[in-house]
Amino acid sequence: MLRAALSLLALPLAGAAEEPTQKPESPGEPLPGLELFRWQWHEVEAPYLVALWILVASLAKIVFHLSRKVTSLVPESCLLILLGLVLGGIVLAVAKKAEYQLEPGTFFLFLLPPIVLDSGYFMPSRLFFDNLGAILTYAVVGTLWNAFTTGAALWGLQQAGLVAPRVQAGLLDFLLFGSLISAVDPVAVLAVFEEVHVNETLFIIVFGESLLNDAVTVVLYKVCNSFVEMGSANVQATDYLKGVASLFVVSLGGAAVGLVFAFLLALTTRFTKRVRIIEPLLVFLLAYAAYLTAEMASLSAILAVTMCGLGCKKYVEANISHKSRTTVKYTMKTLASCAETVIFMLLGISAVDSSKWAWDSGLVLGTLIFILFFRALGVVLQTWVLNQFRLIPLDKIDQVVMSYGGLRGAVAFALVILLDRTKVPAKDYFVATTIVVVFFTVIVQGLTIKPLVKWLKVKRSEHHKPTLNQELHEHTFDHILAAVEDVVGHHGYHYWRDRWEQFDKKYLSQLLMRRSAYRIRDQIWDVYYRLNIRDAISFVDQGGHVLSSTGLTLPSMPSRNSVAETSVTNLLRESGSGACLDLQVIDTVRSGRDREDAVMHHLLCGGLYKPRRRYKASCSRHFISDDAQERQDKEVFQQNMKRRLESFKSTKHNICFTKSKPRPRKTGRRKKDGVANAEATNGKPRDLGFQDTAAVILTVESEEEEEESDSSETEKEDDEGIIFVARATSEVLQEGKVSGSLEVCPSPRIIPPSPTCAEKELPWKSGQGDLAVYVSSETTKIVPVDMQTGWNQSMSSLESLASPPCNQAPTLTCLPPHPRGAEEPQAPLYPPSDPRPSFAFPPSLAKAGRSHSESSADLPQQQELQPLMGHKNHTHLSPGTANSHWCIQFNRGSRL
Amino acid sequence: MGSRSSHAAVIPDVDSIRRETGFSQASLIRLHHRFRALDRNKKGYLSRIDLQQIGALAVNPLGDRIIESFLPNGSQQVDFPGFVRVLAHFRPVEDEDTDLDPKKPEPLNSRRNKLHYAFQLYDLDRDGKISRHEMLQVLRLMVGVQVTEEQLENIADRTVQEADEDGDGAVSFLEFTKSLEKMDVEQKMSIRILK
């Protein structure tokens, strides 16, 4: 079954000349014994050849791009066509027959869809709809105009005797030829224009035209073809009407099919929360189904896929996970570029086969001149009309580029190959002419369009980063314009777009987007989010100790309960701000802020530990485990978590705390979101949460530190390890009963085992002498109240540092969290104490037999911590590590 | 009122309005027609209520502010010249507008004036600066309920800081212009029919 499908795929590629697949053993052979080695080429031939061709094409691409100079001058498509010519020549010389042609079936069913899907999916929709009028005009009117004028002019040429009489073709044949040669080809346009970088408007017009004119081409081609097959005598007036009607059926039908599938796709992805892994597949499957459906109903398949991609993108992108998004993007680009490469190469190879074509100079030259001339004329005429209605008229230079950018490509070639020689006697001449036209437009025009664009000084596209201001103001402008249109009483484009957006917001998005996705789906928010991601990535890339270069203050506390993703970035920001504290500590007036600074300073040490790495062997087909590339993210999480824990410690000795933060609001919801988000961010089962790494005992060896400065850091405040039980307190209590160890502080009365004098002196310790205890009503959790304050304090310190109210922020410089330099100013604060402080986090995991089901009981808390503690990637970030021996011991359950 | 009898002569001071706004005669006639349609009681001016009657403005997040922009300096009514003057901001920039006569005042549809119109929609207290608070208000209008207040504040902070160059925690008009210097304001703040 699979083999059959594969060979089906390969056969058209391999060409008709290929012998049919043979069984390895022919019946005449004597039965061999057990073979040690058997060569079964025919078993694998077809897929092998396909793979080989793609490999050759990809290798060729690599080779071309080795030289920047060549690719900057010559478009890749030219190089590929030329390579195809060479390869075809070699094959011809070796095999004495032309093989591996570009077969229309392969082209339309396998090679074209990825390219169209890619272009539809990544089409800038706003730009597209802003220019829809122009695009449609050029696509419909322009293509019709080109087809009829070219066909008629060629016929005139023949009547004038300039085409050799052996080309047996009537007016209808020429119109048929005109219809297939007139359409601008999306593949060729994309290949060339992607390298030229003209401004967006120009690009979208040419490219949009090339996509949308498919409907017209299909209709024209089919109508003319059936007319030719019927014979011109039998064509009746109703047939013409049917032809016109079929234009609407084919185009609107194709678009409708595409939209239906877009809807289905969006709806399906709404429910893939638990099976993230198939999300990319769904995108491709349904888009391909749209293509095939449209093809089956002989509607415009290109239009269908374009509309599908265009329509579903917004919702699909919101629904699927971040990783799926990346996967979709890359797979789509890979497939499209693969298909494009193969198409151009096969075009080159196909041209070698001289048995298929017959040359007539008059026809070839005439066609070349006519398509160029009529394209230019058509563009000028249409632009003149369009400019009456356009806000920004298309100027002459734009028109030149548009005329010159009308490249013909593989679609025309595939269509001409599809002609029936018995019905169209001049097919061979048409094939030759098409090949020449395609080669001329792709090679000559492709080569010259770049210099032309430069020479004409066409406005180039300028790529600039999105800024929040632009996004916000753009929205404002949209609303203003919509409002002004209302005031003026003219319901124009802006009015309808506004209405559409409201409709979309009210109904479509509600229906097609996951609720969690819908809540965060806002363009302004999106830009904000992307900016944060960018900063975060640059932050991590720079080793984690440089703040965003702009010196912006950082968004303060994350709102974890709504978006896990945002919390990622915000957490990064937090750690970023934590890393910057050192300079602030110096020279600041001792104040309330100072305390926080001191607390924060302790946090810095978290960055200095060099944790031992832990790898969890994980290979699940259904869930992707984090790979090495994600370590950076994890690292920051971990660091951050450590800092937090230490901030507790500095606030209070030996406190037990639950993982649930004292942020009471929305806990119920958080559970739900947390689950979803954890999956969204990590794409893995939620169970491997905290347990894996929870048992972290940080043993801090700070001898060097001690020598350097007698003033000690937080770590030195304590004699024994401070034990944080990162678990629900109820469990802690249980554990406490079992172990009875003081460090675990099982009892509600929490007494610091060894209150150091430091504690009394530290400014932030004062006023917290009494440890109030509160018993939460919902569970048996017993949480010291001051733990809450501790948490709040650290939070607020993070917050206030993250977004200082006034001029503090700009002074934050980006220093690595270096322990020494920072210590000195704080010296008076910390009397020396034990040099070997250690923190233990005896965790739940310690308890043997803690099952997943049990752990899921406190999921909300876990979700809270899971991203923070990560589980395996302990790399050390900070350069300060070098001179002090910090280490972390991971101990499951054991404590010091 | 459906009669198209309105001629240019009906409009008072038609020439000075044309000179000031740059509208064509046809546009002015159309706008005058619209003006009279909005003016329910044939008062000769539009009141706030007249403008609020425009249905779609109610669902426009910036609707109230835009109505406000039509009513100069707290007055409750706008006459036809004032009405046209506001709309003139949205006239597309044409070639003849670009060769500026330095003696003439800047046309209302210049880039600067378009931007200034948008700016004063943000700047509620008219102090020439968009404060963080004002930015937050606009964001609250625009972003809708999906984003929490906390996130909104973050966005507002960042938006202000992004544009803020002199570090005063607010966006002045100059900074506003600068933050949009890459945007094609002439195109984005123009309506084709207002020629």
Q: What is the ipTM of this complex?
A: 0.89
Calpha distance A812→A825 (Å, rounded): 17
Judged by CB atoms closer than 8 Å, whether chains meet at A492 and B182 is answered as no
**Quick check: A219 pLDDT over 70?**
yes
- Measured in degrees and rounded to the nearest 5, phi and psi for residue A782 equal -120, 115
Q: Does domain A85-456 have CATH number 3.20.20.140?
A: no
Judged by CB atoms closer than 8 Å, whether chains meet at B179 and A390 is answered as no
- Measured in degrees and rounded to the nearest 5, phi and psi for residue B71 equal -100, 110
Which helix (H) or strand (E) covers residue B131, if one does?
A: strand B129-131
What is the least distance, in Å, from the CA of B97 to any CA of chain A?
14
Name the residue type at position A279: E
A97 touches chain B (CB under 8 A): no
Judged by CB atoms closer than 8 Å, whether chains meet at B66 and A480 is answered as yes
What is the least distance, in Å, from the CA of B20 to any CA of chain A?
18
What is the least distance, in Å, from the CA of B43 to any CA of chain A?
18
Helix (H, G, I), strand (E, B) or coil at B177: helix
Mean pLDDT of the residues in chain A: 67
Q: Which two tokens stand for residue A790?
A: 């501790």
From chain A residues 510-529, the ones with a CB under 8 A of any chain B CB are 518-522, 524-525, 528
Judged by CB atoms closer than 8 Å, whether chains meet at B60 and A472 is answered as no
**Quick check: A87 pLDDT over 60?**
yes
Q: Which two tokens stand for residue A90?
A: 């070699």
Binning pLDDT at 50, 70 and 90, where does residue A737 land? very low
From chain A residues 787-846, the ones with a CB under 8 A of any chain B CB are 803, 806-807, 810
A669 touches chain B (CB under 8 A): no
**% of chain A surpassing 70 pLDDT:** 55
The count of CB pairs under 8 A between chains A and B is: 157
Q: Which two tokens stand for residue B60?
A: 């426009």
Roughly what angle, to the nearest 10 degrees, separates helices A819-826 and A592-606?
150
Name the residue type at position A772: A
Q: What is the pLDDT of residues A702-727, one digit of tens each?
A: 344 444 444 433 333 334 444 444 44
Q: What is the pLDDT of residues A293-319, one digit of tens each?
A: 999 998 889 999 999 998 888 888 888
Roughly what angle, to the nearest 10 degrees, separates helices A523-541 and A631-651?
90
B99 compared with A160, residue with greater pLDDT: A160
> How much is the pLDDT for A170?
81
Nearest to B60 among A479, A524, A552 (CB): A479
What is the mean predicted confidence (pLDDT) over A262-285?
89
A225 compared with A560, residue with greater pLDDT: A225
What is the least distance, in Å, from the CA of A290 to any CA of chain B?
32
Q: Which two tokens stand for residue A365?
A: 């030259």
What is the least distance, in Å, from the CA of A465 to any CA of chain B?
10
**Quick check: B194 pLDDT over 60?**
yes
Nearest to B159 among A468, A483, A807 (CB): A468
> How much is the pLDDT for A643?
62
- Which residues in chain B touch residue A492, judged by CB atoms under 8 angstroms apart? 191-193
- Which residues in chain A touch residue B151, judged by CB atoms under 8 angstroms apart? 525, 528, 559, 562-563, 566
* Most confident region among A15-29, A316-330, A823-837, B156-170 by mean pLDDT: A316-330
A531 touches chain B (CB under 8 A): yes
* Beta strands per DSSP E along A65-126: none
What is the mean predicted confidence (pLDDT) over B175-192?
79
Judged by CB atoms closer than 8 Å, whether chains meet at A469 and B187 is answered as no
Roughly what angle, to the nearest 10 degrees, separates helices A171-182 and A427-439?
30
- Measured in degrees and rounded to the nearest 5, phi and psi for residue A774 equal -125, 145
Domain boundaries of chain A, sorted by first residue: 85-456, 468-531
* Beta strands per DSSP E along A776-833: 782-784
Judged by CB atoms closer than 8 Å, whether chains meet at A479 and B70 is answered as no
- CB-based contacts of A241: which residues, under 8 Å, 6+ apart? none
What is the least distance, in Å, from the CA of B155 to any CA of chain A?
7
Nearest Cα residue in chain A from B91? A391
Nearest to B151 among A550, A552, A559 (CB): A559
Judged by CB atoms closer than 8 Å, whether chains meet at B189 and A803 is answered as no
Q: Which two tokens stand for residue B190?
A: 């123009």
- Which residues in chain A touch residue B144, judged by CB atoms under 8 angstroms apart? 505, 522
**Quick check: A605 pLDDT over 90?**
no
What is the least distance, in Å, from the CA of B7 to any CA of chain A?
18
Rg (CA), chain A: 35
Q: Mutating which of B133, B147, B178 best tests the A interface, going by the most A Cβ atoms within 10 A?
A: B147
> How much is the pLDDT for B95?
59
Judged by CB atoms closer than 8 Å, whether chains meet at B60 and A489 is answered as no
- Which residues in chain A touch residue B117, judged by CB atoms under 8 angstroms apart? 480
Calpha distance A832→A711 (Å, rounded): 6
What is the least distance, in Å, from the CA of A761 to any CA of chain B?
36
Print burial letters for A725-756: b (CB count within 10 Å at least 16), e (below 16).
bbbbbbbbbebbeeeeeebbbbebebebeebb
Phi-psi region of A597 (alpha: psi -120 to 50; beta: other; left: phi over 0): alpha
Binning pLDDT at 50, 70 and 90, where does residue A562 land? very low
For residue A723, the cross-strand partners are A840
**Quick check: B61 pLDDT over 70?**
yes
Helices (H), ranges, A561-720: 564-579, 581-585, 592-606, 631-651, 667-682, 691-694, 703-708
> How much is the pLDDT for A720?
41
- Give the CA angle between residues A285, A288, A289 to the nearest 5°: 85
Judged by CB atoms closer than 8 Å, whether chains meet at B142 and A479 is answered as yes
Residue count of chain B, please give it.
195
What is the least distance, in Å, from the CA of B78 to any CA of chain A?
13
What is the DSSP code (8-state) at residue B107? P
B20 compared with A637, residue with greater pLDDT: B20
Q: If we measure between CA atoms, which residue out of A439, A336, A346, A397 comes closest to residue A120?
A: A336
Q: Mutating which of B151, B152, B171, B186 best tests the A interface, going by the most A Cβ atoms within 10 A?
A: B151
Q: What is the pLDDT of residues A110-139, one digit of tens each?
A: 988 998 999 889 888 888 888 888 899 998
Q: What is the pLDDT of residues A158-185, one digit of tens each?
A: 888 877 777 777 888 888 899 888 888 8
> How much is the pLDDT for A474?
80
CB-CB neighbours of A338 under 10 Å: 18
Nearest to B187 among A391, A468, A556 (CB): A391
CATH number assigned to the domain covering B12-89: 1.10.238.10
Mean pLDDT of the residues in chain B: 77
A464 touches chain B (CB under 8 A): yes
- Which residues in chain A touch residue B84, judged by CB atoms under 8 angstroms apart? none
Nearest Cα residue in chain A from B154? A555
What is the DSSP code (8-state) at residue B124? T
Q: What is the pLDDT of residues A336-361, one digit of tens each?
A: 888 888 888 888 888 887 777 788 88
Judged by CB atoms closer than 8 Å, whether chains meet at B190 and A391 is answered as yes
Nearest Cα residue in chain B from A390? B192
Domain boundaries of chain B, sorted by first residue: 12-89
Calpha distance A41→A49 (Å, rounded): 10
A494 touches chain B (CB under 8 A): yes
Q: Point out the least confidently predicted range of A132-136, A242-246, A785-789.
A: A785-789
